[in-house]
A and B are shown apart, each in its own frame.
Chain A
Amino acid sequence: MPVPTMFHSRTAKLCASYRWKDWAGFYAVCSYDTSHDPEYFAFRHSAGLIDVSPLCKYEVRGRDAAAFLSRVTVKNIAKLKVGQVTYLCWCDDDGKIVDDGTVSRLDEDFYRVTAAEPSLSWFERLRNGYQVTIEDSSHTLGALALQGPNSRAILAEVCDGDVGGLWFFRVLRCRLAGVEVWVSRTGYTGDLGYEIWVGEAGAERVWDALVEAGAAYGLLPAGLDALDVTRLEAGFIMNGVDYFGAPHCLTEGRKSSPYELNLGWTVQLDRPPFVGRAALEREKGRGPARTLVGLDVDWGELEEVFARYGLPPELSAGAWREGRPVYDEGGRWIGQATSGAWSPTLKKNLALAQLQSSHAAVGTTVRFEVTAEYRRHRVKATVARPPFFDPPRKRAK
């Protein structure tokens, strides 16, 4: 049975659709209205406010915090400056990915890690020999994501910190409606956006202040359904959907390496040993067997397939995450699409897929399975490199 987050008193009142789901043991809104469309467009055109408190959060403190995180994750955390955030992943000894998330350096010896899955025991078992404490703040620290082109203007109205001067992937401590919070310029929508980290005491006040200030800027409370479409447009992968954390995999074939997930850029090999380094070095040398790519499913062929039954193309209303096989032009299985969505902005039918590396070059034509009138068909799809949508405002100073 899920439990409420610290914003539940607010979200529950607004969630007229009663559409909830269990996210990491918390109640999370799928969409406030019966359709998630307005919330999607709020993310892209005004601003959406989403409760992301169910994210797993860990406060890592101590003299060896940087050294410890550098050993656990694939990045050299010692290089991270105070006020900086970085995206990364961590692996097991075989170089297979365990989870992905962010590390923020909040102070000299104080870091915050976000993760998709509970990771305390994973961190704990690697902690020996380091002077660090790891506090699981998943239940004590609330998080709101304020995402969209107007998010900066809204925050500036309620925040006493220099939000306008906060760069992409930076974090600052400030007061929001009198409440001490951290504001980071991060998010899962691939748009201009911020995440606000707040303790339980002031959480509701922060929500109220954002909603009130946001009214003039078209702010809408948003749920996970809308977020899912934006994250696909942005090409962000999701643990448990596009890959599985190694500790949860029954078979070797289910595990993935960072290189296979296109996260090779996060892996910093040229430094003291860290968990998985040897295996990752070997893999980098020979190249990954599979590669995560974007797929742009050909609209013309999709229409033709449905037209055979006298139907217009039927697409799922939101993002989908039931895997679908992908074939090469000769009909040979070459991998799977793991999630996808119709992009209302790009007017394209998009998917993320893990394909054999031989078929992963941008522009390669593959065959994507679709079901029309209960029958299976294969339509053309073109390999693309995510992000599909990457507006300049995301990084703009």
Chain B
Amino acid sequence: MSRRYDAVVVGGGHNGLICAAYLARAGRKVLVVERRHLLGGSAVTEELYPGFKFSVCSYVVSLFRPSIIRDLELPRHGMEILPLETAFTPLPGDRGLCRWADAERSRREISRFSARDAEIYPEFSLTMTRAAQLVRDVIDSPAPDPLSWDPRELLRLLRLGRKLRSGGSETMHLNLKLLTMSAVDFLDMWFESDVLKAPMSVSGIIGTYQGVRSPGTAYVLLHHYMGEIDGAFRSWGYSKGGTGGVSLACARAAEGFGAEIRTEATVERVQLRNGRATGVVLAGGEEIEARTVVSSCDPRLTFFGLVGEEHLDPEFTAQIQRYKLRGSSGKVNLAVDRLPRFFGREGSAHLRGDVAIAPGIDYLERAFDDAKYGAFSRRPYINVVIPSIMDPSVAPPGKHIISMFVQYAPYHLAEGAESWPDQREAFGDAVVETLAEYCPGLEESILFRQVLTPWDLEQEYGLTEGNIFQGELSLEQLLFQRPAAGWSRYRTPVRSLWMCGSGTHPGGGIMGAPGQLAAAALLRSGEL
């Protein structure tokens, strides 16, 4: 049976569902097809061990656009976000450094390592907030295209330029530095303490195959200051019940507007007629006709997996081939029977945010050294969160979930990506051993362990090369070059085929902006 839809969205992750919800809200007939048995893509909650609900892949909600929450009335559909309150950097044998929402308390903590840094810290935050205002505008609208002569485009560039200049030459210079410097070099201009700089610098490398001393990594530091100006007020947070809650709320909103959603429906290919996408073909042969196809998959999967090289021109093919995915991180999820204890800290107040295993810059750079030559880091950077502290609904009373984002775990191992299944448990052991150096007794508390390598992310979640952002968030593939030069506006060279995933502007994370902006672009295009 084939029915004609206005749009069929490939992939039921949060971006696909948000895009579908906006299209349906505008009165369009929309179908979302998801390969797995449950919705969410990488923003998914799964009960892997009885009583423990894991945010299997993506584990914090970052910069989720508040406008989407309002437009789609997501709280009515069950979405509630709890902001992270602390940033804790434990050290082996020492109480480490915890940064709190309370500025004075943070100042005292930083003073233990450098009184000078402690005083500069708020000044740094203010400067970054100023610079972040520009980024905010860029995230909430399609990427500005400096090569276009479209008058509307020029007007936007002019407005952006004026805003850049209104910040004064100082802000302009700062922005230039942010775009070109390494995270460490940039932080060196301000701070002296390694223990402070190391956890701050890692935001520049998350999901990339670069080190904290690699040029261009400073820019992502800005994202951490966006929450302040976002109307979201500390917009990094947990979704109640796990990150799948975000996706499910988006799904309910989409259905509320009349969209249809099908799970366990694998799209085998995009149906093309005379170079135009006319629907999708499911595994098993079922054809679904639609006026447009919107793919929330990454660009390489979309074009090489669903469309086929033979339908693309060679220049575009080359761009997509060169598009950097090269996943560099893994995930280790633990169910534990007690709260982990770190040196010199009692209770759980310091764990109401994220915990960075990043004791120094050299440590991080050494972790990258392993990865450069195709091995996982023996002592990796780990971003640890224990969501069950603030959201006890995800674990049985008194028990906890430890969710660890681990970098580096390069997709391309020296022995080849296919050798990941053989190295999976050794990788998991390295991660647990690392954390245990900061919280003794960890091993005995473990009830269950799940190790996800980049290989697993590709095989199970369809993230090519295990890249969590559907493409590195490095400067050369951001903005008007994401995912390919000239194709940043959610359209593709294939007529009636659109993109709405993290591989499009403004990129990855549970932000929702690609899905929202893609829907707006599609509705404006007149194709529907």
Contacts and interface: CB of A to CB of B under 8 A. Distances in A.
Given A153-B397, A216-B398, A299-B231, A347 B70 contact: yes
B82 interface: yes
A348 B70 contact: yes
Contact of A389 (B67, B75, B228, B229): B75
B80 interface: yes
Contact of B232 (A37, A310, A347): A347
B390 A303 contact: no
A34 B85 CA distance: 12
A45 B390 contact: yes
Contact of A45 (B67, B133, B391): B391
A136 interface: no
A342 B234 CA distance: 13
Contacts of A35: 101-102
Contacts of B83: 37, 41, 344
A315 to B, nearest CB: 8
A150 interface: yes
Interface string A4-44: 00000000000000000000000000000111011001001
A37 B67 contact: no
B233 A38 contact: no
Contacts of B102: 33-35
A37 B102 CA distance: 11
Interface string B209-249: 00000000000000000001111110000001000000000
Nearest to A35: B101
B85 A37 contact: yes
Most central of A41, A149, A310, A345 by chain B CB within 10 Å: A41
A46 B85 contact: no
Contacts of A348: 70
Which of A35, A38, A149, A312 has the most chain B CB atoms inside 10 A of its CB? A312
B85 A38 contact: yes
B80 A46 contact: no
Interface in A370-387: none
Interface string A295-308: 00001000100000
A345 B397 contact: no
Interface in A32-67: 33-35, 37-38, 41, 44-46
A123 interface: no
A246 B66 CA distance: 41
A87 interface: no
Contact of B69 (A34, A149, A346, A389): A346
B392 interface: yes
B525 interface: no
B166 A310 contact: yes
Nearest to A344: B233
Nearest to B395: A216
B393 interface: yes
Nearest to B235: A347
A45 B80 contact: yes
Given A41-B82, A44-B80, 8 more contacts: A45-B80, A46-B391, A218-B391, A299-B67, A303-B231, A312-B231, A347-B69, A348-B70
Interface of A: 33-35, 37-38, 41, 44-46, 149-150, 153, 215-218, 299, 303, 310, 312-313, 342, 344-348, 389
Query: 6 tightest CB-CB pairs across the interface, nearest first?
Result: A216-B397, A312-B229, A216-B398, A347-B66, A218-B392, A347-B69
